[in-house]
Amino acid sequence: MFRHLLFGLLLFATTAYAQEPLKEDLAPCGTIGVSDWLREYRLRPPVVDRSEDTLWVAIQPHLLAKDNGSGRIAAEKFLSSFCQLNEDFAASNIQFYFKYGWNLLDETDWYAHEDIPQGIEMMLTNNIPDALNAYFVADPAGNCGYNLPYAGVAIGHNCSGDNDHTWSHEVGHALNLPHPFIGWEGKTYNFAQPTPTLLTYDYTYFHDTLETQIPAPLDTALVELLDGSNCALAADLICDTKPDYLSYRWDCNTQNQSLAKQKDPTGAEFYSDGTLFMSYALDKCQSRFSPEEIAIMRATLLTEKAAWLTPNRLQQPVEEPAEAVEPILGQLVPPVGALFTWKPVPHATHYLVQASRFENFFFKQVDLVTTDTFLIAGQLSANQNYFWRIRPFNDWHACAPFGELFTFKTGAVSKTSEPDAEGWRCYPSVLGTGMPLTLEIPETWRGEDAKCTVFDAAGRLVWQSYLSLHAPRMKVELPSSHWPSGVYRFILTSNLGVKRASLVVEKG
Same domain, 381 and 452: no
Do residues 137 and 126 lie in contact, with contact meaning Cβ atoms separated by under 8 Å?
Answer: no
Quick one: what percent of the chain has pLDDT higher than 90?
63
The answer to the question of residue 194 being in a domain is no
What's the CA gap between 216 and 206, in Å, rounded?
Answer: 10
Same domain, 331 and 461: no
Residue 410 has pLDDT above 70, yes or no: yes
The last residue of a domain, from among 285, 310, 335: 310
The answer to the question of residue 229 being in a domain is no
Residue 6 pLDDT grade (very low, low, confident, very high; cuts 50, 70, 90): very low
Residue 19 has pLDDT above 90, yes or no: no
Which residues neighbour 251 within 8 Å (Cβ) at sequence distance 6 or greater?
258, 259, 281, 282, 285
Do residues 223 and 268 lie in contact, with contact meaning Cβ atoms separated by under 8 Å?
Answer: no
The last residue of a domain, from among 371, 386, 410: 410
Nearest to 54 by CA among 89, 99, 100: 89
Same domain, 377 and 345: yes
DSSP at 151: T
Q: pLDDT at position 475, please?
A: 85
Q: pLDDT at position 166, please?
A: 96
Do residues 490 and 452 lie in contact, with contact meaning Cβ atoms separated by under 8 Å?
Answer: yes
Q: Report the run of H or E that residue 340 belongs to, with start and end.
A: strand 339-342
pTM (2 decimals)?
0.81
What's the CA gap between 437 and 478, in Å, rounded?
Answer: 7
Residue 261 pLDDT grade (very low, low, confident, very high; cuts 50, 70, 90): very high
Which stretches does DSSP call E strand in 229-329? 257-263, 269-273, 309-310, 324-326
- Cα angle: 472, vertex 475, 477; to 5 degrees: 155
Range among 99-108, 313-322, 429-438 rated most confident: 99-108
Same domain, 355 and 476: no
The answer to the question of residue 161 being in a domain is yes
Domain span including residue 452: 425-505
Nearest to 22 by CA among 174, 139, 193: 139
The answer to the question of residue 242 being in a domain is no
Residue 255 has pLDDT above 80, yes or no: yes
Q: pLDDT at position 413, please?
A: 63
Lowest-confidence segment of 233-247, 344-358, 430-444 by average pLDDT:
430-444
**Phi/psi at 141 (nearest 5 deg)?**
60, 40
Same domain, 396 and 458: no
Q: pLDDT at position 17, please?
A: 40
Q: pLDDT at position 35, please?
A: 85
Same domain, 447 and 336: no
Plot region of 35 (φ>0 → left; ψ -120 to 50 → alpha; else → beta): beta
Residue 71 has pLDDT above 70, yes or no: yes
Same domain, 429 and 383: no
Cβ neighbours of 140 (radius 10 Å): 32
Do residues 349 and 98 lie in contact, with contact meaning Cβ atoms separated by under 8 Å?
Answer: no
The answer to the question of residue 140 being in a domain is yes
The answer to the question of residue 488 being in a domain is yes
The answer to the question of residue 449 being in a domain is yes
Same domain, 394 and 459: no
Handedness of CA 116, 69, 160, 9 (dihedral sign): positive
Number of domains into which the chain is organized:
3
Residue 467 sits in a domain whose CATH number is 2.60.40.1930
Residue 314 has pLDDT above 80, yes or no: no
The answer to the question of residue 475 being in a domain is yes
What's the CA gap between 85 and 101, in Å, rounded?
Answer: 16
Q: What is the dihedral of CA 136, 235, 27, 156, to 10 degrees?
A: -10
Q: What is the mean pLDDT of residues 318-329?
A: 91
Residue 54 sits in a domain whose CATH number is 3.40.390
Q: Is 362 exposed, middle or buried (0-12, 13-18, 19+ CB in 10 A)?
A: exposed
pLDDT tens, residue by residue, 212-238 = 554 445 578 899 999 999 999 999 999
Same domain, 171 and 70: yes
Cβ neighbours of 84 (radius 10 Å): 22
Same domain, 363 and 469: no
Average pLDDT for the chain: 88
Nearest to 361 by CA among 406, 412, 326, 409: 406
What's the CA gap between 324 and 333, in Å, rounded?
Answer: 15
Same domain, 9 and 151: yes
The last residue of a domain, from among 410, 436, 451: 410
What's the CA gap between 330 and 387, in Å, rounded?
Answer: 9
Same domain, 62 and 166: yes
Q: Report the run of H or E that residue 424 belongs to, with start and end.
A: none
Q: Comparing 31 with 443, which gets the higher pLDDT?
A: 443
Lowest-confidence segment of 117-126, 176-185, 331-340 by average pLDDT:
331-340
- Cα angle: 52, vertex 53, 57; to 5 degrees: 125
Q: Is 186 exposed, middle or buried (0-12, 13-18, 19+ CB in 10 A)?
A: exposed
